[in-house]
Chain A
Amino acid sequence: MKVNQKGQKKDRNKNLYYGFSFLVIVIILYLVLSFFNSEKIYRSLQASLDIIIQILPILGLVIFLIGIVNYFLKPKMVSKYLGGESGVKGWFIAIFMGILSHGPIYVWYPLLKDLRDQGMRAGLVAAFLYNRAIKIPLLPVMIFYFGISFVVILSIYMTIASIIEGKIIEIIEHMYRGRSRENG
């Protein structure tokens, strides 16, 4: 148990270090580009600030959902509905969650990590992320530009693609785990 906790802490520190390194690289990129065109960099910062303001409510919702998931969903329950034995039901839940979720894809990563830690299948995470492409409130805009037949056909193919992609990811994960077990 202690070893597991130590491992998790080490992973967390590694992720935090990686996150800060990435942020520093992006800040350096901003500084370098500001020497060439400071006006564009100012506009880029403004655009980033706009994005932050736009996603703030969704960030709040995601933090709330993570809290709720931590409180109500126990690993046993997650594994029943989204784990190894979830079957067709699991795929349906992941696809619908993906379609219904809002905001940018990256704000959902922490929640998915939590669910994954509690036993959600990798393939279902992939299906969730793929189906974020189908957004019900955006469908009228898509129909306006491309027509209803195109939107219906594309949505059907994208749902099918999400399942195939999820299955392939699970096969790859399974192969990798088998190989690492063989190597001891």
Chain B
Amino acid sequence: MLFLECRKGHVQMDAKIVNMTNKETIIVSFYKALKNFGMALPVLLGVILLLGLFKIYITPELISSVFTGGLFRDTVLGSIIGSISAGNPITSYIIGGELLKQGVSLFAVTAFIVAWVTVGVVQLPAEASILGKRFALTRNILSFIFALLVAITSVVTLRAVT
């Protein structure tokens, strides 16, 4: 009987220790999360400040003034401008819609809206610092090329279908 009581006491103690370790692990997990985020904070703050500059200095009028009418040249330009611009994708749709109204080709506008989200020149320092230089550079270069390819294939398919 005494033996059983002792065993019960041990089991309760073990359960307490397990609970304590679990609690500690949750705290440690969130502490680690905050610490990891804190490490990324300076570079993220830098990117946000750069985005503020872009929002004010790179206006939709400035973007539309760059396109000249050459199909291939405009598509590459669309991809370049989309890569260096950043912000909410809705902004890219609005600018893209305006560009279409002004006669810019759908190839260029598609490259522009695809590169807007997939290529991030402004975010590149943050991406390189957190995910690694080689990964960030390769990903952005590939995304730039894919913005052109996706634009061409999408518009060609759209024209074939409709």
Contact = CB atoms under 8 A, between A and B. Distances in A.
Contacts of B150: 154, 157-158, 161
B139 A106 contact: no
A47 B134 CA distance: 31
Given A30-B49, A66-B36, A44 B154 contact: no
A145 B94 contact: yes
Contacts of B157: 153, 157
Given A19-B46, A47-B51, A51-B51, A133 B56 contact: no
Interface stretch (B9-17, B63-71, B72-80, B115-123): B115-123
Interface residues of A, number: 70
Given A105-B120, A138-B90, A161-B149, A63 B48 contact: no
Contact of A23 (B29, B46, B158, B162): B46
B97 to A, nearest CB: 4
Contacts of B55: 44, 47
B5 to A, nearest CB: 35
Interface in A42-81: 43-49, 51-52, 55, 59, 62-64, 66-68, 70-71
B18 interface: no
A158 B77 CA distance: 19
Interface in A121-161: 122, 125-126, 129-130, 132-133, 135, 138, 141-142, 145-146, 149-150, 153-154, 157-158, 161
B154 A63 contact: no
A112 B131 contact: yes
Contacts of A43: 56
A47 B56 CA distance: 8
A10 B5 CA distance: 52
B45 A23 contact: yes
Given A114-B36, A122-B135, A132 B123 contact: no
A137 to B, nearest CB: 10
A100 interface: no
Given A48-B49, A109-B131, A146-B96, A40 B57 contact: yes
A40 B49 CA distance: 13
Contacts of B143: 130, 165
Given A22-B46, A114-B33, 19 more contacts: A12-B39, A15-B39, A30-B53, A40-B56, A40-B57, A51-B48, A70-B30, A106-B44, A113-B36, A122-B135, A130-B143, A133-B118, A146-B93, A149-B161, A149-B162, A154-B154, A157-B154, A165-B146, A172-B138
